[in-house]
Every structure is written in structure tokens, then in C-alpha cells.
């Protein structure tokens, strides 16, 4: 399923994104691409939830337009054992995004479905516009350099919204790179 549309150099090869340093850097690059495309205060990234709010408290994005709804939503959007942390919570468009490698596509699709089920329950309880997966339209650049390792490139060409909207799939190449 890995697409041929990402420009591949002869000395590049697919490499594992399993090491924590690789997938964290890939997620960070995708977060930065999202922020660049949509620089507003209606976004909360999973890395913001996981890095420092370990007390179970989730803080709203700074400058949120509808602070009351955002706070109520985040207060309800908690796991029983572990804080739920979609890679992107977009409060303006009311959508979630999840970043996964191809081998975790089914898991990512299940996670997204679960987030939307939980969001529907929250909206039924506290009100507000619905969260709809079909409204997820953002697509990252097809290729990006992996932050911290200019010898690796992220390819998102395998993302296929006919499978699961909001599920950003990527692979990592190693070797000489020239990202678009």
C-alpha cells in the first residue's frame, strides 16, 4: 500500500518508525504542518495533553473562542484509566486527527471512531454543535523531513480518506532526502 507518489531517491529505503524518537519526531512534524495550515487557538495537540498535564487535568487551548464549551468538553473527554489524547483535537471544525504508520491503520480508525462516539455523548449531555468525522479535510504535505534527522523523510502519500477521514498515515524513509 505504500504509495509511489513520494519522490524516492535510489539510495533511500523504508525504515521503522517504531523507535520512540522516530514516531515522536514524525508526530511533531505533522503537528507543525497542521499548525502552519491552521494557525489559530482552536487546536489542542495530543503532545500537549501528554507532556505535563499528568495530574489528569487537561487545559484548554489558550485563547479559545468558546471557553465554556471547550472546558466542559475537555472535562468530559477523559478516559477511565488514561487521558484520551487524539493527535489533534480541532475545536473550530469539530474533528479529530490521528497519526499512524500503515501497520497501525486499523487501530487508528478504531480510535477515531471511539473519539466520535464519546464526543456525541458529550454533546448530547452538554449541548453544542456535533463532531463529524466527514468534516476532517486537512491533508499534510506529502513529504517532510523528520525533525532532528535530516537523513530521514516522512511520506504521507499512503493517507486514504476513503478508509477513515482524519487518519493520517505515514511511512519513514532513510537515506538522502529532498522533501517537498
Q: To the nearest whole percent, how much of the chain has pLDDT over 70?
A: 81
1 has a pLDDT exceeding 50: no
Q: What is the predicted pLDDT for the residue at 50?
A: 52
Give dist(CA 174, CA 50) in Å, integer: 28
Q: What are 44-83's pLDDT values in tens digits?
A: 888 877 544 444 556 666 677 788 888 888 888 876 566 6
171 has a pLDDT exceeding 60: yes
* DSSP conformational letter for 4: S
Q: What is the predicted pLDDT for the residue at 59?
A: 65
Nearest Cα residue to 162 out of 130, 139, 131, 129: 139
Q: What is the predicted pLDDT for the residue at 99?
A: 97
Determine how β-strand 143-146 pairs with β-strand 167-174. Answer: unpaired
Q: What does the pLDDT average to over 150-161?
A: 89
Segment among 44-48, 55-59, 135-139, 150-154 with least mean pLDDT: 55-59
Q: What is the predicted pLDDT for the residue at 20?
A: 86
Task: Round the average pLDDT of the chain to a whole number and report it.
Answer: 83
Give dist(CA 125, CA 152) in Å, integer: 45
Q: What is the predicted pLDDT for the residue at 130?
A: 96
Q: What are 80-123's pLDDT values in tens digits?
A: 566 678 999 999 999 999 999 989 999 999 999 999 999 999 99
pTM value is 0.86
Q: What is the predicted pLDDT for the residue at 34?
A: 94
Give dist(CA 45, CA 35) in Å, integer: 10
Nearest Cα residue to 33 out of 19, 43, 18: 43
Residue written as grid cell 494557525: 39
Nearest Cα residue to 79 out of 105, 49, 109, 108: 49
Amino acid at each position: 500500500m505504500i504509495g509511489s507518489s513520494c519522490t524516492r531517491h535510489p539510495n533511500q529505503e523504508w525504515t521503522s518508525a517504531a523507535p520512540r524518537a522516530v514516531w515522536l519526531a514524525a508526530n511533531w512534524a505533522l503537528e507543525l504542518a497542521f499548525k502552519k495550515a491552521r494557525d489559530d487557538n482552536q487546536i489542542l495537540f495530543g503532545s500537549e495533553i501528554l507532556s505535563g498535564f499528568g495530574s489528569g487535568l487537561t487545559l484548554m487551548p489558550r485563547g479559545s473562542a468558546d471557553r465554556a464549551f471547550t472546558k466542559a468538553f475537555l472535562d468530559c473527554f477523559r478516559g477511565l484509566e488514561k487521558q484520551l489524547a487524539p493527535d489533534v483535537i480541532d475545536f473550530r471544525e469539530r474533528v479529530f486527527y490521528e497519526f499512524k504508520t500503515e501497520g497501525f491503520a486499523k487501530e487508528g480508525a478504531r480510535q477515531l471512531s471511539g473519539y466520535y462516539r464519546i464526543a456525541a455523548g458529550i454533546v448530547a449531555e452538554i449541548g453544542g454543535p456535533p463532531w463529524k468525522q466527514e468534516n476532517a479535510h486537512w491533508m499534510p504535505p506529502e513529504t517532510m523531513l523528520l525533525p532532528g534527522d535530516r537523513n530521514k523523510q516522512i511520506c504521507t502519500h499512503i493517507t486514504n480518506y476513503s478508509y477513515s477521514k482524519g487518519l493520517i498515515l505515514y511511512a519513514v524513509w532513510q537515506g538522502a532526502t529532498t522533501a517537498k
